[in-house]
A and B are shown apart, each in its own frame.
Chain A
Amino acid sequence: MRIKKILVVDDEKAIYAYLERKLSKLGYSVCTAENGEEALSQAFKERPDIILLDVKLPKLNGIEVCKRLKSSDMTKQIPIIMLSAKAQSDEITAGLKAGADRYLCKPISFPDILQEIRAYEK
């Protein structure tokens, strides 16, 4: 599959702005959300090819967002890469249980993130 559009969800503007800038420069169409509710609406509205989802989010957390997206026929095929500062095994398990396709622990380098996204293009 060809990835054109990426939804980046993070409550830190510095993070999602950086990723938006770098990924757009690399030719991706990037949309962003800085809370759970916005993430859901963006996901349904923009129909991204992949979602980079932070876990710790205001309003609705990443786990919940992931669950809802994976439970909707419209969005359940969208790969979700969870990015979280929560690195404990129970947290990882909770993320994977919620339907996340990948669970990456912060901090992670930009080249590593890019590598993960490109892995879905093959």
Chain B
Amino acid sequence: MTTGKLIMNKKGKQSGPVLGIFPKLLLFFLVLSISPLIVLGYMANKNMAQTGLESKAIVTGMGENNMKAAMGIGKVAIEDSVHALDDKSRETIELRTLELALRIADFLYERDNDLRVLATFRPDPEKYRLAYLSSTKDVIVPRNLPREAPSGDSIGLTWSNPTNRIGWHHRPPDDFNRISKPIYKEITFIDLLGNEKIKVKNGHISNNLKNVSRKENTFCKAEDYFPRLSSLKKGEIYVSRVIGAYKQGWLYKSPEGIKVKPESAHAGKENPLGDEFEGIIRWATPVYEDGKKTGYLTMALDHIHVMEFTDHVVPTKERFSELSDGGSGNYAFLWDDQDQCISHARDFFICGYDPETGEEIPGWLSQNTYDEYKNSGLSLKAFVERLPSFRDFSQKKGGSKDQLQSGEIALDCRILDTAPQCEGWHRGTEDGGAGSFLILWSGLWKLTTYAAVPYFTGSYGSSKRGFGYVTIGANVNDFHKAANKTRESIEYSIALQEQDIRSANEKASALIDDSAERNRRLITAITVIAVLSVICAAILLGLNITRPLKRLTEGAVAISRGDLDQQIEVRSRDEIGQLAKSFNEMANAVAEVDRMKSEFVTIASHEFRTPIHAMLLGVSGILEGYAGEINDETREDLQVVNDGIARLMVLVENLLDLSRIESRKFELNTARISVKNIIKNAVSEVSQLIEAHGHVAIERYSSKLPDIYVDGERMSQVVVNLLSNSIKYTPEGGRILIGAEEKGNDIVFSVADNGYGIPLAAHDKVFERFFQADSIMSQRVGGSGLGLTIAKGIVEEHGGSIYFESPISAGRFPDLPLGGDRKGTVFFVHLPMKKERISEV
């Protein structure tokens, strides 16, 4: 405690910057807590960015996948819808073909009935004429003005009941120009020799009767029916093939495509003014009278009625037209049981006979085959008759140019080796069925349907193909129109969707960027808040630790200053609380020890004094002669005892003083006093001792010394102690200088001697208790070794300082003889003059 106090009373400031617990804690917290937070924040930011990129990639990928899926679905949908529409169109056209074939068959069977009915009657010109006139059928005759074809969509008429509104389609009837036309070109009765007996022609009974057993008397000189009639039994019917004059036609290539020359036969829209093919199909059956065959009834069907079935059919939305269009590729045509063309948009394609010779005009061959014919040396007819059916058909072959030039380009399917579809139709109708297939024709994909005409009368019954077959050609593109429209709309919606997906992607990307940015900001904010929280926590924790520590320090300092009544409020039970508690206990213990010490000193001083008192009483009484006369020897011996008692007394007093100084129970009786008096009192007290040692003491004062406020007795004691020190440690006959002067705000006392000086090794110990320099003088002067310690204590109680210089620097005291081992010692005492500083203590 004493040591602590002395340190504190020296310049108790620590040197250099020292980091306290609080900033250390703060730094520790910052480094420990903030670094991971910052790392965390950085990582989170990075991850967020990464996540953003990945999400973007995923979203974009999803978008692309969606787009691909949409496009894939679109493609499939298009394929499917095209297929569906194709199938639908195909079925529609197939059905139309089949129904056409059935209607033709029905029509032909009606002719059988007409014949049978008329054959039951006795041959009678008037009856035949009536039959002729009563058998008529409408045919479409094109108007001169070209007409807008109906689109096929709902026109004009709409639903009247809302229930029917869904899917309402209406098509007005075709407004074609129809005229009634006799079904038969002629009705005849011929006798068994072939002589025409009755003949109704053009509505009149003809007198121009001929023998038809001769071919030149027949239609186009081409009919050979009479020889076949003789074998007919009753009720049996003969039906001829189509007989008619072949009508020539010429095709040529123009920039717009293939065209028909005007001098050609009728070819629908391509050549509406050309000669139409005129032909007949002759029916014949034997006529019996009274069970006896008398002749034959023949009825020649005007072939126009058969052609009428196919000539106006259009396999598009147009459905029907006044004029068929061979160039469009969308039309129906008809083939007989021998696969020869008997109805076509282009009449020059219909097989016929040379009316001059009655010879059949050979069908159109490929150039290869035609060249073959030329090299054969045979006539064309003979060559064709020998030519195997459906030999080596190929689209790669071109039609013979010679026939094109001659205008004789009838279509005979068995030898038309440039058209492989012929073989298809032939094959497809073998069993009388119907069907379709696709073929690339003239650079266009065509759906071609076929249906056998189930008419089996006469020689037509020799094959299941019957009368022949109907075919319809349709440009695939035309009936793909709907599918293509669907394709376009689907592609459009895919494009829209693609755009949607793209913009959705962009939006999603922007959203992800945005949210990543927001998250980044959030994390930064959280990090900042967390850092601030950590700093606050560190500050609070630091204060929590350092505040009580500061209180402890203050308490300890107060205790060291002698203020022992220190108690620190204990709030917590933790280590700090324990420390505070321990501190309080220690403070109590210190206070107790201090109290005990004071008590001890008081008691001890009293207890010492009493026996000393007894000794002094006795010895003083004897020395003063109160116990009778004593001799000199006794007196000298008792004087030794008396000196010892005196030293004991000084020791007791010094101990008491020291105890009081150290326990700060030292009371100063400050009063105004002159510096000179202090010194004079001290000198007078030790004058005997100075004399005894043979020293010379010299007092020196500066001219004007102020009075000071000090405890005069105590300050005299200080000077006495210093003087005693000099007296003891200076060889006899030494010189002692006592002085006082004013220096700044201080009064400086000095006591110098020309003794041996204080050895350097002892400098630190001069003011320590019971320190005595090793000196031969010490025994003689006595001394407790407490004088300088007490002097220092008194000076410091006054707020002053005490120090010494040894050896004395040369020239400091000119009248102090120094030299050799007389190095000298000087003590300085600085006392502040200020009244406040003194009374403050």
Contact = CB atoms under 8 A, between A and B. Distances in A.
Contacts of B667: 89
Contacts of A22: 621, 626
Given A22-B621, A86-B606, A88-B602, A107 B626 contact: no
A105 B607 CA distance: 13
Contact of B609 (A19, A106, A111): A106
A94 interface: no
Contacts of A108: 613, 616-617
The 5 A-B residue pairs whose C-beta atoms are closest, nearest first, are: A109-B620, A85-B609, A107-B613, A106-B613, A110-B621
B714 to A, nearest CB: 12
Contacts of B645: 107
Contact of B606 (A18, A26, A85, A113): A85
Nearest to A86: B606
Interface in A17-50: 18-19, 22, 25-26
A109 B613 CA distance: 7
Nearest to A88: B602
B609 A87 contact: yes
Interface string B644-675: 01000100000010000000000101000000
25 contacts: A12-B610, A15-B610, A15-B614, A15-B617, A18-B617, A19-B617, A22-B621, A22-B626, A85-B607, A85-B608, A85-B609, A85-B613, A86-B602, A86-B606, A87-B609, A89-B667, A107-B609, A107-B612, A107-B615, A107-B616, A108-B616, A109-B616, A109-B624, A110-B620, A110-B624
A56 interface: yes
A14 interface: yes
Contacts of A26: 626
Nearest to B617: A110
Given A89-B667, A107-B614, A107-B617, 7 more contacts: A26-B626, A107-B613, A109-B617, A109-B624, A110-B617, A110-B618, A111-B624
B604 to A, nearest CB: 10
A113 B616 CA distance: 11
Given A22-B626, A107-B645, A110-B626, A12 B606 contact: no
Interface string B330-373: 00000000000000000000000000000000000000000000
B606 A56 contact: yes
A65 B615 CA distance: 26
Interface string B667-691: 1010000000000000000000000
A73 B669 CA distance: 36
A12 B609 contact: no
Contacts of A110: 616-618, 620-621, 624, 626
B605 interface: yes
Contact of B618 (A12, A18, A113): A18
Q: Which size bracket describes the interface of A in this complex?
A: 20 to 34
Contact of A14 (B614, B616, B649, B669): B614
A12 B614 contact: yes
Contacts of A105: 609
Nearest to B615: A107
Nearest to B646: A107
A10 B276 CA distance: 185
A87 B621 CA distance: 23
A107 B606 CA distance: 10
Interface string A79-109: 0000001111100000000000000011111
Contacts of A113: 617
Interface in B759-810: none
Nearest to A106: B613
Contacts of A86: 602, 606
A88 B616 CA distance: 20
Interface string B732-769: 00000000000000000000000000000000000000
Interface in B575-630: 602, 605-610, 612-621, 624, 626
Contacts of B606: 56, 85-86
Contacts of B669: 89
A7 B731 CA distance: 51
B808 to A, nearest CB: 38
A25 B628 CA distance: 11
Nearest to B618: A18
Nearest to B648: A107
B649 A107 contact: yes
B655 to A, nearest CB: 13
A18 B645 CA distance: 18
Contacts of A112: 620
A12 B656 CA distance: 23
Nearest to A23: B626
B488 to A, nearest CB: 126
A85 B616 CA distance: 13
B666 to A, nearest CB: 11
B523 to A, nearest CB: 75
B398 to A, nearest CB: 156
A106 B620 CA distance: 13
A108 B610 CA distance: 10
B42 to A, nearest CB: 75
Contacts of B620: 109-112
